[in-house]
Structure 1
Amino acid sequence: MKLTRRLFGVVSGAALAMGTVPFAAQVAQAQESSTLVIAVPSDPAGLEPGINKAEPIGSEIILNVFDTLVAWQAPDFAELEGRLATEWSVSEDGMTFDFTLRDGVVFHDGTPFNAEAVKFSIERTVEMNPYVEASLGLIESIETPSETEVVFTLSRPYPAFLSILAQPQSAIVSPTAVGELGDDFATNPVGTGPFKFRAYQADTRVVLDANADYYRGAPKLERLIYTIIPEASTRRLELENGGVDIIQQAGQLSAVPSEEMAAFAENDDIQILESPSQIIRQLEFNNSLTDGPFTDVRVRRAIAMAIDYDGLLSGVFDGTAERVYGPLTSNSWAFDPEVMDLAPSYDPEAAKALLAEAGVDPSDLTVKLYSFQGSLWGAVATFVQANLADIGVNVEIAQTEFPSYRALHVAGEWEMALDGRQPWYNDPDAHVTIGYLSALKNSAMTFRMPENAELDAKILEAQGEADMEKRKTLYGEIQKEIVEQVPGAYLFSPKLIVFARSNVEGLVVNSAPPLNEYWSVSKN
């Protein structure tokens, strides 16, 4: 969603109302102990749950304006805690989820939160948002026995459903505000969260004010300002000069380049917060092609063996990313260490031998490599291009704007592409089902896996298995089978990195989803 160029609400200061914010005024705002200024690289999209498709900036704003029924508990983010739900139970068959809701909560517009609001919100997202078809689309019915009880019944068991309810798309909206605002709700979101939406100015900023009546207690900050600064160098300077309090890398390959971390490391006024992520960036093959060299697993394996993974991590990322060996990162609870031994290793001579065995003359092989735009994506593409040139394969790089890239990727109009998956819930289902289930190959940017009844059945069995140890065993088998098929070359997992002024306290970086909540954050 591209937000319309209209200013909603009023932000303090005549300068903002006129569409300009002098640098000195921004510095003064950032230096106020009650205001946190967060630099982001682009205008937000998906500011409200009903249409959000995991856009990073809009998703983070949602989790600060709205509440979900449950959320991942800081600082470890290993267990779910209640938010708008105080307790819940799951039926033995794993298909019915019964929630007791928090009483006395009100939306920012003063209307009451209740079970009907939950039903309205989730059904609205399912209706509006094709992105949630594989998850919230499993809901068969939502019942509201009382104002403080809501019961979800699924069409089949889905243990990750609780994790799904912690996503931005599952946040609870004000039915009254939706009814009154219509389409304008997308730029005037109303929730129950710790911050109230105050104003939006296109390509400039989003302003949130503290919700003094928040049921968990008022935030320590009075205001959040997301200021839009496209240039990484400008964001860095503003952080150094005190014009902003926080800049985020968040795995987007669009913020402060890794080589500039050294400068921050020597600056006592700036702190660097790092956390492993479950984000995966990879070189994908279009596995649904019926002809061409990549239909041969030996060719795919040769390409994967031609990539210098350690050189990529040290040369391009300088320690800000980690190796990935298969469909899951090594910090996933379902990761199988045996995958590390099965994954292709850097061996150009063995790669050449595999191509020869497959009857492929690399000098006859010219491939277009599609990539996202941005300097770091360009660096990754150039690195891969050089690696493949070493085994005689000619690669043409095509960096493409995201809307066009997404369209051609979903349509299958490509052979090889750089892509990635950023999980929005802490479960292997977030990577495996969407990425590798052949029935979903045309629905998103996936590996476009060919029909494989055995693998598909195992993926769905793992998705629905209620016993977590059995699920882990199934996902281990799935990982090893996928790695053997070489649907792509798994490149790296970027660390989640947040740069903040030294007086920012209480910020904890979440790994899945990689979105920050600011309710507990303060400035000294």
Structure 2
Amino acid sequence: MALWKGLAAAGIALPMIVGAAHAQTNDPKTTLVVAVPSDPVSLEPGTNKAEPVGSEIILNVFDTLIAWKAPDFKEIEARLATSWSVSADGKEFTFKLRDGVKFQDGTPFDAAAVKFSLERTKATNPYVKATFDLIKDIAVVSPSEVKITLSAAYPAFLSILAQPQSAIVSPTAVQKYGDKFAANPVGTGPFVFKSAQADTNVVLEANPSYFRGAPKLSKIVYRVIPDASTRRLELENGGVDVVQQQGQLSSIAAEDIAALKSNKSVKILESSSQIIRQLEFNNNKKDGPIADVRVRKAIASAIDYDGLLQGVFAGTAERVYGPLTSNSWAFDPKMKDLAPKYDPAAAKKLLAEAGVKPESLDLKLYSFQGPLWGAVATFVQANLADIGIKATIQQTEFPAYRTLQTAGQFDIALDGRQPWYNDPDAHITIGYLSSLANTAMTFRMPEDKALDDLILKAQQTSDFEARKKLYFEVQQELMKRVPGAYLFSPKLIVFARANVEGLVINSAPPLNEYWSVYKK
């Protein structure tokens, strides 16, 4: 249930609602209207679970200690912190904080607010349990300094602190509103939450006292428009200023993009994402054809990667060469040479070497539901048929799909991972560490002490360059094992009116900040 409907059902009073009469007072020159497919699920860090609409609003109403720096998002910059240091053992993170910053309710931001916010999220938000449980202690050194101690070294913790769930809340507002804080969120961010109406909109207004300077926009209106074709029409007619893809396969059908490209009133912003969609093998199976690496190589060589990108996605997705996308700071350039090439003849030869007759294989190809996943599954099915392998498509609802994958009841399955923090750990550890094989939708890697030790060493090494080299090694080792066929990475695409300026797309998490945006 959407946030506002859930709060109303629970008897929680909502803030003033915005209706059509209010919208008529908007100054079109300084009001940005953003089309979103649904209501936000949560507008505060303590309950946010990486749902796109609510997560983006959080990053515009609240601030985090640190953030990834635009436009490349490969370097961390200070936000509520001015500087930070990490102990030699990688367990202690000390942050110097900005002086003079105030929350939107006028109360001061300080180290006590940081301690309160992070401990609150740790206690209330199960989504971040795996990472926030590493927090052993948060100490207020002084009003302008805070020290966070972890139980184990975890360099990716800086990336975790840049997520919406790590945003800093007003302790005074939490005390004032209690369980109603989700309907009255108060942060230090460039925009102040004003109102919301279920299935209609969420309204933010500029924070004139924002510590980085007042935003150029006076208001943001998130309009809820579930239908993709309606979002497109509203964009073309000027009813909305921005339509987002928000990390999904497509928010506007691929065939519509060509039409929008010819519209001089609309511009299309594209950016590589760190989302990976792949054909996974059940690497934990000790018998059957998939257990033979030559069969896995054959299947990987049977797929027409370029044909998939052009035929199904019409250029709205990019090739993935290995376990990380090519825009990850830890991507090993050698992956482009090590990645399988489309070669049906080589695939047939590999099957023969493995002693496997293609006609003897009758595989179930599991897939998520939806027309685009269906199109991908059909494309892969046809590629496998070209080398004599029969694959029957089984599109499955997510709960059942997750159950069969974690139970290992499959040979091949279409899957993917969308990282919400900018670190290779988001793909590598969860996807390939053998001890986590049965805990989620993973590559179900078999026990392999050497590989596991390498993954954990890369995860826990503090020095950036040393860590990067270790992830190079991890990628090369994984490619030897052929855990899957890496298919594509959907681009992050934002459609905007031509007069919208200053908008930059972040790749992980795929959320927009509007502090720098203006309309010319």
**TM-score, with normalisation over the residues of structure 2?**
0.92
User: 1:472–1:14: structure 2 CA closer, same or farther, 3 Å change rule?
Assistant: closer
What is the number of equivalent residue pairs in this alignment?
514
What letter matches 2:16 in structure 1?
Answer: V
**Contact 1:283/1:417 (<8 A) preserved:** yes
**Contact 1:30/1:242 (<8 A) preserved:** no
Q: Which residue of 1 aligns with 2:16?
A: 10
What letter matches 2:300 in structure 1?
Answer: A
Correspondence 1:362-511 to 2 at 5 A? 362-511=358-507
Q: How far 1:291 moved relative to its partner?
A: 4.0
Give CA-to-partner distance per residue, 1:403-426, whole Å, 9 cap, x none.
Answer: 544454445444332222222222
Equivalent of 1:101, from 91, 97, 100? 97
Q: How far 1:2 moved relative to its partner?
A: 4.1
Q: How far 1:459 moved relative to its partner?
A: 0.8
Q: Which residue of 2 aligns with 1:43?
A: 39
Q: Which residue of 2 aligns with 1:75?
A: 71
**Contact 1:30/1:36 (<8 A) preserved:** no
Q: Which residue of 2 aligns with 1:20?
A: none
**Contact 2:74/2:329 (<8 A) preserved:** no
Q: Once structures 1 and 2 are overlaid, which stretch shifts more, 65-74 or 342-351?
A: 342-351
Q: Which residue of 1 aligns with 2:215?
A: 219
What letter matches 1:519 in structure 2?
Answer: W
**Contact 1:297/1:486 (<8 A) preserved:** yes
What letter matches 2:465 in structure 1?
Answer: E
User: 1:123–1:445: structure 2 CA closer, same or farther, 3 Å change rule?
Assistant: farther
Aligned residue for 2:159, secondary structure, equals helix
Correspondence 1:304-319 to 2 at 5 A? 304-319=300-315
User: 1:230–1:388: structure 2 CA closer, same or farther, 3 Å change rule?
Assistant: farther
In structure 1, C-alpha distance between the alignment counterparts of 2:513 and 2:77, rounded to whole Å: 14
User: 1:29–1:422: structure 2 CA closer, same or farther, 3 Å change rule?
Assistant: farther
Instruction: Name stretches of at least 5 consecutive residues in structure 2 with no aligned partner.
Output: none
Question: In the alignment, does 2:293 pair up with 1:297?
Answer: yes
Q: Which residue of 2 aligns with 1:19?
A: none
User: 1:351–1:186: structure 2 CA closer, same or farther, 3 Å change rule?
Assistant: farther
User: 1:318–1:433: structure 2 CA closer, same or farther, 3 Å change rule?
Assistant: same
Q: How much is the aligned-residue C-alpha RMSD, in angstroms?
A: 2.3
Q: How far 1:504 moved relative to its partner?
A: 0.7
Q: How far 1:381 moved relative to its partner?
A: 1.8
User: 1:512–1:431: structure 2 CA closer, same or farther, 3 Å change rule?
Assistant: same
In structure 2, C-alpha distance between the alignment counterparts of 1:423 and 1:409, rounded to whole Å: 19
Aligned residue for 1:476, secondary structure, equals helix
Give CA-to-partner distance per residue, 1:483-521, whole Å, 9 cap, x none.
Answer: 111111101122221110011111111222221100111
Aligned residue for 1:51, secondary structure, equals coil
Correspondence 1:301-380 to 2 at 5 A? 301-380=297-376
User: 1:231–1:386: structure 2 CA closer, same or farther, 3 Å change rule?
Assistant: farther
In structure 2, C-alpha distance between the alignment counterparts of 1:252 and 1:488, rounded to whole Å: 21
Q: Percent identity among equivalent residues? A: 70
Question: In the alignment, does 2:232 pair up with 1:236?
Answer: yes
What letter matches 2:3 in structure 1?
Answer: L
Q: How far 1:458 moved relative to its partner?
A: 0.6
Aligned residue for 2:3, secondary structure, equals coil
Give CA-to-partner distance per residue, 1:321-355, whole Å, 9 cap, x none.
Answer: 22111111122222212222222221223223333
Q: How far 1:125 moved relative to its partner?
A: 2.2
Instruction: Name stretches of at least 5 consecutive residues in structure 1 with no aligned partner.
Output: 17-24
In structure 1, C-alpha distance between the alignment counterparts of 2:368 and 2:492, rounded to whole Å: 19
User: 1:181–1:264: structure 2 CA closer, same or farther, 3 Å change rule?
Assistant: same
Correspondence 1:157-172 to 2 at 5 A? 157-172=153-168
**TM-score, with normalisation over the residues of structure 1?**
0.91
In structure 2, C-alpha distance between the alignment counterparts of 1:29 and 1:396, rounded to whole Å: 56
What letter matches 2:363 in structure 1?
Answer: V
Q: How far 1:274 moved relative to its partner?
A: 1.5
Q: How far 1:142 moved relative to its partner?
A: 1.0
Aligned residue for 1:419, secondary structure, equals strand
In structure 2, C-alpha distance between the alignment counterparts of 1:442 and 1:181, rounded to whole Å: 40
In structure 2, C-alpha distance between the alignment counterparts of 1:47 and 1:413, rounded to whole Å: 37
What letter matches 1:62 in structure 2?
Answer: I
Q: How far 1:68 moved relative to its partner?
A: 0.3
In structure 2, C-alpha distance between the alignment counterparts of 1:450 and 1:495, rounded to whole Å: 32
**Contact 1:254/1:375 (<8 A) preserved:** no
**Contact 2:283/2:446 (<8 A) preserved:** yes
Aligned residue for 1:460, secondary structure, equals helix
In structure 1, C-alpha distance between the alignment counterparts of 2:2 and 2:34, rounded to whole Å: 20
Question: In the alignment, does 2:29 pair up with 1:33?
Answer: yes
Q: Which residue of 1 aligns with 2:106?
A: 110
**Contact 2:62/2:188 (<8 A) preserved:** yes
In structure 2, C-alpha distance between the alignment counterparts of 1:373 and 1:188, rounded to whole Å: 36
Aligned residue for 2:46, secondary structure, equals helix
User: 1:14–1:78: structure 2 CA closer, same or farther, 3 Å change rule?
Assistant: closer
In structure 2, C-alpha distance between the alignment counterparts of 1:87 and 1:446, rounded to whole Å: 36
In structure 2, C-alpha distance between the alignment counterparts of 1:169 and 1:480, rounded to whole Å: 33
What letter matches 1:213 in structure 2?
Answer: S
Equivalent of 1:199, from 176, 195, 201? 195
In structure 1, C-alpha distance between the alignment counterparts of 2:20 and 2:267, rounded to whole Å: 33
Give CA-to-partner distance per residue, 1:342-379, whole Å, 9 cap, x none.
Answer: 22221223223333443444334333333333332222
